[in-house]
Amino acid sequence: MTRPLPAVIAAAQNAAHRMADRHTPFVMNDWYVAAFADDIKEQLLARTLLGRRLVFYRTRAGQVVALEDRCPHRSMPLSAGTLTQDTIVCGYHGLRFNAEGDCIEVPSQANCPKNVGIRSYRTHERGAVVWIWMGEAELADLSKLPPQDWMESAEWERSQGYLSLQGSYVRLHENLLDLTHLSFLHAKSFGTPDYAKAAFESVIGDGQFALLRNVVPTTLPPVWAIPTGLTGQGQAARIVRSEFRSLGLHEVSVTFYDCHLPENDRPQFRIRTAHMPTPETATSTHYFIVHGRDFALDDPETTRFMHAQLFVAFQEDVDGLALQEQALASTPAEDLYEFSVAADAPAVAMRRYVLARQRQEAPD
Ligand code: FES
Ligand SMILES: [Fe+2]
């Protein structure tokens, strides 16, 4: 076996230090998905996001509340308490907190100590998901949330799902910007052998990274061949744009059409997938997915079929990334190196950007 020269390893390790990885502290000043909207009900929901324990609930008026999940009296998780009239009563000694996180009752005495409470976080419910801002409250700005009109439009049919990834969110964003893995990791689901070799174009901007790939002609896998009717060998065009839009949102847009029909006389079938990774810990990630299509609307059987097929593929990513994390964790730091290839350029640029964002927030 060829063992790289120490100088090659040192160069690779040097390059890795300029990119975000699982050791990079979280970027706090951004919007991340906290939950699907219908996961937050009039009951307490505990969830760890960006390394912090939070408790969520919905008020009787329908407002989402996100609070620190730790009683400031003796640190009992408030999620182990009870929700009563839009307030949480701690399950240990009964201190009560309102939706703003203020302590409003101490059962064992007449008054609450002044200025005692827990942190509350700003949330924003939009379409199927609830976004959260966990950084500096005064920087929370809805204009920093990328638009996703299709996620609310009646012209798109949608389904959603959640996967728990035992791996870093940075690696998930990288996976989504690297579509050469489709021919291999997804060989049995939605990858085709021609995918890895198809020409691609990279778009590397300030905070925006995309990979464009036109696979023409190609044969579609069943997940799309069946709903579009493009079932012939070499019949289809598969035009893909995979884009990192923010730390909490990666979007894949694909157009399919019959590449043997004239340009102005061929139906186009579009799908979109919002991949929304939210770090749970350094090596685990909440992976929220919303998938949409602009054809076969009001066809629940097609929705069920595509959802089931797609989630087989997304599970392959989750399983692969968990294995990758295990391999990383069990390699001594001095032996750890990874080299990049040309197709990694957008992912490398994205990881450098994530590191720069973190350093900007918390300079050494
Ligand atoms: S720990 Fe919550 S009331 Fe004492
Ligand atoms: Fe994948």
Distance (Å, whole) CA 246 – CA 242: 13
Examine the domain organization and report whether 264 and 179 are in the same domain: yes
Closest C-alpha residue for ligand 1 atom 1: 74
Q: Is the CB of 12 under 6 A from ligand 1?
A: no
Give the number of domains in the chain. Answer: 2
Closest CA relative to residue 152, chosen from 173, 125, 133 = 125
Q: Which two tokens stand for residue 357?
A: 């964002």
Q: Is the CB of 71 under 6 A from ligand 1?
A: yes
Closest CA relative to residue 199, chosen from 347, 351, 314, 342 = 342
Closest CA relative to residue 56, chosen from 1, 121, 145 = 121
Examine the domain organization and report whether 118 and 157 are in the same domain: no
pLDDT in 10s for each residue of the chain, 364 residues: 667 777 777 777 777 778 999 999 999 999 999 999 999 999 999 999 999 999 999 999 999 999 999 999 999 999 999 999 999 999 999 999 999 999 999 999 999 988 889 999 999 999 999 999 999 999 999 999 999 999 999 999 999 999 999 999 999 999 999 888 988 999 998 888 887 788 889 999 888 899 999 999 999 999 999 999 999 999 999 999 999 999 999 999 999 999 999 999 999 999 999 999 999 999 999 999 999 999 999 999 999 999 999 999 999 999 999 999 999 999 998 888 899 998 899 999 999 999 999 999 987 6
**Omega of the bond prior to 217 within 30 degrees of 0, cis?**
yes
Examine the domain organization and report whether 51 and 185 are in the same domain: no
Testing ligand 1's pocket by substitution, the residue of 68, 88, 89, 95 carrying the most ligand atoms inside 8 A of its CB is: 95
Examine the domain organization and report whether 198 and 305 are in the same domain: yes
Residue 13 domain-assigned? no
Q: Is the CB of 260 under 6 A from ligand 1?
A: no
Examine the domain organization and report whether 37 and 161 are in the same domain: no
Closest C-alpha residue for ligand 1 atom 3: 93
CA 171 / ligand 2 centre spacing (Å): 11
* Residue listed under structure tokens 């749970």: 280
Domain of 66 in residue numbering reads as 31-134
Q: Is the CB of 93 under 6 A from ligand 1?
A: yes
Contacts of 338 (CB under 8 A, 6+ apart): 12, 16
